[in-house]
Amino acid sequence: MDGASAGIRYPFATPPAVGEAIEVAAGVLWMRLPLPMALDHVNVYALDDGDSWTLIDTGFHSGKSRKIWTDLLAGPLGGKPIGRVIVTHHHPDHVGMAGWFVARGAALHMPRTAWLLTRMLTLDPHDVPTPETLAFYRLSGMDPAVYDKRAVERPFNFADCVAPLPVGFNRLQDGEQIAFGGRVWDVRMGNGHAPEHATFWSRDDHLVIGGDQLLPSISANIGVYATEPEADPVSEWIAACERLKPFAHDEQLVLGGHKLPFTGLPLRMEQMIENHHGALRRLEAFLDTPRKGGACFMPLFKREITGDAYGLALVEAIAHLNHLHQADRAIRWLHDDGAYRWQRV
């Protein structure tokens, strides 16, 4: 569901150019790092602590990102050091450069689950997909041509775009308070897109830092992977949205991990919840006939998915199929071709 409908507003219509910053609130700078994918950017924020800055998220670790950050540090950030890096969740576009800043003296703050996952994944690179990953692809009903290609090529590895994290870190916990940028913030954890995803709600003004848990005009990917093939992140996402919804009000300016800062969070929370309920209803109706996971893109995304986006579409399809299965709204069995079939109850 598009968040650009009535009630969602974008006070800053033009994003900052690479190497530049926009002040979105007193002492709060909005910057962008490029990404080599369809979603071609990640938003990062610097909050003024007087003699240093606190950074929220960091972009991929790469030579290009290091150059951009070097220019930002010397330019919009005025040469002041980075005293602290806060990571909202473990995905590479958010945590990638955190270790680079820590190596230069910054303290690291992030949820424990995010730190554990990042440490594990950066220390576990693979030249070819693992047997568990290939089995997951087969069970999910991946297109055979896509499977044959992925089976022999080097998979995505965290170590390719995430700098190593230190052994020690400062844990962010749900319900605690943290001070930075001249404000006191309540830490509230989301879930579903990433486990233990940190969001920050200012007690001193109407700012909310939402990461990928609170996005204005796109839906965060909700996926199931070979690491936990029976997971139900759709339930976790909806429960997190319901849990955060009472704290939302229309005056808040939400600083998300992608797209534009926005107001109208109560409406957006309702949209994000209904987006998945609607997708589940469409998928359930589509399962009148038994289907493989790789055949379920149309009811979920209202279009067929090919190319680089195929993998994210498949893991999101499995997430919704798992939800229907575990809610007793669909049955599942293993077909002779080695792929599951799902059918509505």
Q: How far is CA 173 from CA 54, 247, 257, 315, in A?
A: 18, 17, 20, 28
Of the candidates 188, 220, 249, 224, the residue with the CA atom closest to the CA atom of residue 323? 224
Q: What is the dihedral of CA 265, 278, 322, 299, to 10 degrees?
A: -120
Backbone angles phi, psi at 298, to 5 degrees: -60, -50
Q: Return the amino acid letter for 184.
A: V
When pLDDT is cut at 50, 70 and 90, the band that residue 6 belongs to is low
The pair of structure tokens assigned to 236 is: 């976790």
The pair of structure tokens assigned to 208 is: 């909310």
| pTM (2 d.p.) | 0.96
For residue 324, pLDDT over 90 is answered with yes
Tell me what the mean pLDDT of segment 246-275 comes to: 97
Q: 296 with 303: CB under 8 angstroms?
A: no
* DSSP 3-state percent helix, strand, coil across the chain (nearest 5): 35, 20, 45
Q: 33 with 68: CB under 8 angstroms?
A: yes
- What is the pLDDT of the chain when averaged over all its residues? 96
Tell me what the mean pLDDT of segment 73-84 comes to: 98
Q: What is the distance between the alpha carbons of residues 10 and 296, in angstroms, rounded to a whole number?
A: 33
**Helix 265-286 vs helix 233-244: crossing angle, to nearest 10:** 150
| pLDDT tens figures, 84-117 | 999 999 999 999 999 999 999 999 999 999 999 9
Q: Percent of the chain at pLDDT above 90?
A: 96
Tell me what the mean pLDDT of segment 73-78 comes to: 98
Give residues with Cβ within 8 angstroms of 269, minimum separation 6.
241, 244, 245, 248
When pLDDT is cut at 50, 70 and 90, the band that residue 58 belongs to is very high
The CATH number of the structural domain formed by 22-124+158-288 is 3.60.15.10
pLDDT at 1: 37
Q: What is the distance between the alpha carbons of residues 158 and 178, in angstroms, rounded to a whole number?
A: 28
pLDDT at 308: 87
The pair of structure tokens assigned to 174 is: 């749900």
Beta bridge partners of 126: none
H-helix or E-strand spanning residue 280: helix 265-286
Q: What is the distance between the alpha carbons of residues 326 and 234, in angstroms, rounded to a whole number?
A: 11
Q: Exposed (0-12), middle (13-18) or buried (19+): which is 262, by Cβ within 10 Å?
A: buried
Segments making up each domain of the chain, as ranges: 22-124+158-288
Q: 188 with 199: CB under 8 angstroms?
A: yes
Q: Return the amino acid letter for 203.
A: R
For residue 4, pLDDT over 50 is answered with no
Q: What is the distance between the alpha carbons of residues 267 and 270, in angstroms, rounded to a whole number?
A: 5
| pLDDT tens figures, 172-231 | 999 999 999 999 999 999 999 999 999 999 999 999 999 999 999 999 999 999 999 999
pLDDT at 270: 97
| pLDDT tens figures, 119-153 | 999 999 999 999 999 999 999 999 999 999 999 99
pLDDT at 309: 92
